[in-house]
Amino acid sequence: MNLKMDTKAVNGVSVVHCSGRIVFGDEAAFLRTKLKEILSTSKKIVLDLSEVTYIDSGGLGTLVGCYSTARSSGADIKLAGLGQRVRDVLQITKLVTVFEVYDSEQKALAAFH
Amino acid sequence: MAVAPISNPGTTAGSGAFPSLVLVQGSDQRSLPLIHSPFTVGRKVDKDLVIADPRVSRDHAQIVHEAGVYWIIDQGSKHGTFVNGEKIERHKLDRNDLLEFGARGGTYVIFNPLHAGSNTAREFLSQISGLNISTDTTDLEKLTMFLEAARKLNTTGVLDEILVTLVETTLKLTRAERGYVFLKAEDGSLHLAAGCNSKGERLTNDQTFSNSILQDALHSASEFLVTDTSQSLDLAGRHSIVAYDLRTVICIPLRKYAVQTIRTKQEPSEPANAGSEIIGALYVDSRFASRDISSVSHDILKAIAVEAAQLIENARLVQAEEEARRYQQELSIASSIQQRLMEIHIPEVPFARMSGRNMSCKEIGGDFFDATSTTDHFAVVVADVCGKGVSAALLASTLQGMVYSHLVAQMPLADIVAAVNRFFTQKHLGEKYATVVIARISRTGELEYVNCGHVPPLLVSQHHVSRPQLGNLPVGLLPDATYEAGKLQLKPGDRFIIVTDGVTEAENARGDFYDNERLEDVAGKSSGMEEIFTSVSNFCGGTPLNDDCTVVELVYTG
């Protein structure tokens, strides 16, 4: 298991800090479960991916799946602090046009207010 | 012991207008049709069935046909005629009756064996039960050997056969009237798995057994429970015992004995049998009108309890093994269908040529490419389906079929991927999607392409490399995604190269990626896609690929 997730609440927004790899298997399942749990109590989420070193196609599918679920339940997930790898993948797949992406956690938080 | 193979059991017995006898002598067996009556048995050479054994009398017995019924009649033989182990003078024959003449435990004859395709196991059993394996071998031990042999023969449906035979054997040993095996389902409930009576008739869905005694046995710590209702007044009131006139019930809980019982701290003290899991129960009974079976030797019951549980456990293992084997077989069939679907036949057109190669890092990979042509167009598809294995292969085949049919119908590329996206997202495949590139070149060199989530393709024009950047979302991720196709004008000799991310993300031992720079460099210098593969594999050295690599090159020849 190569993914760690820490959650904190900042002004009514759940900030989820991820570090490690988001890949098909345990990691993607963990991300899915954790986000589902957070979504049951919070409608505003910032996903800080600054320490995510790698995301594969399976991980990307999970990320989009969570995003769609959140949107359909009236919640919002904003991404913050993409590393080069994650940024490239989102760029190639044009998913940068789907997600709201911010340079930093602060900027993402500010966008909620 | 050596078990002789059965020589084509399908032709040995029971099929045809006349009933047959199956003569079993050691490991040999042959079938004799009962074509006339009386059918004579004896040591004399003029008999229909000649058994050259001094214990068989010259005129030993006859089988007579009277009004649709077959009788065996002893002809005053010296050592007697036996049916199912009982000495008889005149006896009506039922299917599967075992006949012995003069001596028990040697040569025997089975009257008109029940026969069906699935019955090879039973027949096999009847064969080995006639063998003198060792005087110490019990019928149940023989069953275990049978099971082992059946496993080697890959016999299917072993468990059912075993259970019925187990009940039959138990009936023989206890001389009870009816017998049932109950097995515990995953939810802990008992269900009837097999049942038969002493006449060999199968009993199914019979509610006339004593359920209360069955439950008592399961909750008792003893190895078996013998209940004689005539001796026990408090039982006389129980519903089934009264209703069905049950005299004696023997119930044997079947326990799986753990080799080593692991006791955890949560269960500090356990009753004697708690370490062994109950997997079912063997139940036999007799009615008042019938014989008394309460005096059956306790040693026999103990032996049955241990061996029957062992047997069922083994049979279950055999069953599981068989299922796993079949599953494997299905999987390899699926894999070969998939491979044939994915086999590519590159159409020949005068204005373009194509070459492509896929290096899979798993048996069934997520990458594929395909090519089709119409009169004025040549089209190529490269896709990378998310994930690996069977689920990816299924998605790949569906995608391939959809794209193919749309291409043949000459639909605009953006419409094709939009249709595929709609299809996949409507089906809610759950985070399953694909990245796709489709490129279609016309006779005049006009190239239309749509890129859905792939690394940008390469356009090589006289060693100059460019990356057409127009891209879209992958297909299957978002239902409301829109797609846009790009157009390029190619000159003769121009090459359009499509790669999957397995190429750019190929890693070497240091963890560096092959990446776009190297790719563009070698694409500009090389004259074909083989050189790209060589370059990637030189870069990786011995480091194994962790994703499929696909390279497809489309050259406009003019």
Distance CA(A42)–CA(A48), nearest Å, equals: 16
Write out chain A residues lying below 8 Å of B477, CB-based. Answer: 61, 64, 95
| Chain A: residue whose CA lies nearest to B474 | A93
Q: Do B477 and A64 touch (CB under 8 A)?
A: yes
User: Strand, helix or coil at B211?
Assistant: helix
| Chain B: residue whose CA lies nearest to A61 | B431
Mutation for testing the B interface, residue in A30, A57, A66, A99 having most B CBs under 10 Å: A57
Mutation for testing the A interface, residue in B426, B431, B455 having most A CBs under 10 Å: B431
CB burial of A36-45 (b: ≥16 within 10 Å; e: otherwise) equals eebbeebbbb
Phi, psi of A78 (to 5 degrees): -110, 145
pLDDT at B205: 65
Q: Do A92 and B433 touch (CB under 8 A)?
A: no
**What is residue B117's DSSP assignment?**
G
Q: Do A58 and B386 touch (CB under 8 A)?
A: yes
Whether residue B112 contacts residue B125, with contact meaning beta carbons closer than 8 Å, is answered with no
Q: Which residues of B touch A (CB under 8 A)?
A: 384, 386-387, 430-433, 435, 453-456, 471-474, 477-478, 501
pLDDT at A15: 94
Write out chain A residues lying below 8 Å of B478, CB-based. Answer: 64, 68, 98
**What is residue B472's DSSP assignment?**
B
- Residue labelled with tokens 């040549």: B378
Mutation for testing the B interface, residue in A36, A72, A93 having most B CBs under 10 Å: A93
Q: Do A92 and B478 touch (CB under 8 A)?
A: no
Tally of CB atoms within 10 A around B139: 18
Q: How far is A100 from chain B (nearest CA, A)?
A: 15
Q: What is the value of pTM for the model shown?
A: 0.58
| Chain A: residue whose CA lies nearest to B451 | A93
Q: Do B431 and A64 touch (CB under 8 A)?
A: yes
Tally of CB atoms within 10 A around A91: 14
Write out chain B residues lying below 8 Å of A98, CB-based. Answer: 473, 478
pLDDT at B274: 47
| Chain B: residue whose CA lies nearest to A67 | B478
Whether residue B166 contacts residue B143, with contact meaning beta carbons closer than 8 Å, is answered with yes
Q: Do B387 and A58 touch (CB under 8 A)?
A: yes
The sheet that has B90-92: what strands, in order across it? B49-50, B39-42, B61-66, B69-74, B90-92
Tally of CB atoms within 10 A around B91: 20
pLDDT at B192: 84
Q: How far is B472 from chain A (nearest CA, A)?
A: 6
Write out chain A residues lying below 8 Å of B384, CB-based. Answer: 57
Write out chain B residues lying below 8 Å of A21, CB-based. Answer: none
Which residues have a Cβ under 8 Å from the Cβ of B352 and sit 6 or more positions away? B378, B441, B554, B555, B556, B557
Answer whether the bond into residue B113 is a cis peptide, omega within 30°.
no
| Chain B: residue whose CA lies nearest to A96 | B473
Q: Which residue of A24, A64, A95 is in closest CB contact with B387? A: A24
H or E element, residue A44: strand A44-55
Distance CA(B380)–CA(B553), nearest Å, equals: 9
pLDDT, block means (10 residues), chain B with 558 residues: 36 50 77 82 88 89 87 92 90 87 84 54 51 50 60 58 79 82 82 84 73 78 72 58 71 69 41 62 76 68 76 76 80 77 85 87 70 92 82 84 92 94 83 91 95 94 92 91 94 93 87 89 87 89 80 92
Q: Which residue of A24, A61, A94 is in closest CB contact with B433? A: A61
Whether residue B434 contacts residue B395, with contact meaning beta carbons closer than 8 Å, is answered with yes
pLDDT at A57: 82
Which residues in chain A come in under a pLDDT of 70?
none
- Per-residue tokens: A36: 């589902």
Mutation for testing the A interface, residue in B385, B432, B477, B550 having most A CBs under 10 Å: B477
> Is the complex ipTM more than 0.90?
no
Which residues have a Cβ under 8 Å from the Cβ of B537 and sit 6 or more positions away? none
DSSP labels, B292-310: --TT--HHHHHHHHHHHHH
Q: Which residue of A57, A62, A95 is in closest CB contact with B473? A: A95
Q: How far is B549 from chain A (nearest CA, A)?
A: 14
Amino acid making up residue A109 = L
Which residues have a Cβ under 8 Å from the Cβ of B136 and sit 6 or more positions away? none
| Chain A: residue whose CA lies nearest to B453 | A93
pLDDT at B133: 41
| Chain A: residue whose CA lies nearest to B471 | A94
* Interchain CB contacts (distance < 8 Å): A and B: 46
Q: Which residue of A62, A92, A98 is in closest CB contact with B478? A: A98
pLDDT at B444: 94
Q: How far is A11 from chain B (nearest CA, A)?
A: 31
Amino acid making up residue B359 = M
Q: Interior CA angle at B512 toward B508 and B518, to 5°?
A: 90
Residue among B501, B479, B510, B483 nearest B551 (CA)? B501
Which residues have a Cβ under 8 Å from the Cβ of B261 and sit 6 or more positions away? B275, B276
